[in-house]
Amino acid sequence: MGAYKYIQDTFERESKEKSPEYKQRLMQFRREPAIIRIEKPTNLKRARELGYKAKQGFVVVRVRVKKGSGIHKRPKKGRRPTRMGVRKLTRAKSKQVIAEERAARKYPNCEVLNSYWICEDGTYKWYEVILADINHPSIRNDPDVAWITINKHRGRAFRGKTSAGRKSRGLTNKGKGSEKVRPSIKSNKRKGK
């Protein structure tokens, strides 16, 4: 069994909600700011799968996103109560996409490579976002990630180009039932979701 298998097993064992390690991690994360840069990924195996390398130019950020459907103001008049549109409204984006966008805003010189779930409690979800500094020589000279430095990849997180963004746009499904998602959901009168 390789080293990454042991790392993954340890992370999965610690990520069970009843474990003391998981509770300790949550207690520590709650005290931290909503967006914080960290030295190394919490789940190293998952980060490596998504393109992270332990070299200069890569940045890992932990982002906290609040659960729920957000704040919706109650209209002042002109509707019956069922059409007020206050409860049971879900966001068009997933929490993971929101986390990636927030990380991209915080680090404007970097581009979002990918992200993954870390933990959650009743109020928040935490994600770790992998960013790449597009002006760093070690990123520009690495053939595995040099594609991200090309101009057409600017603002990937905001345009739904990451894997979480593509999933929330409905592009991961193929075949029967996914006819209305291409070229975009908007172009098909939002019938694709």
Class of domain 3-154 (CATH, top level) = alpha beta
**How much is the average pLDDT of 89-109?**
94
pLDDT grade for 104, boundaries at 50, 70 and 90: very high
Residue 8 token pair = 């993954």
Asked whether residue 91 carries a pLDDT value surpassing 90, the answer given is no
Asked whether residue 1 carries a pLDDT value surpassing 70, the answer given is no
Which pLDDT value is given to residue 86? 82
For residues 99 and 34, the answer to whether their CB atoms sit within 8 Å is no
Residue type, 141: N
Which pLDDT value is given to residue 21? 84
0.95 cut: is pTM over it? no
pLDDT in tens, 39-53: 999 999 999 999 999
- Looking at every residue in the chain, the average pLDDT score rounds to 90
Kindly report the number of other CB atoms within 10 A of residue 139's CB atom.
Answer: 23
pLDDT in tens, 130-166: 999 999 999 999 999 999 999 999 999 999 999 999 9
Sorted by where each begins, the domain ranges of the chain are 3-154, 162-193
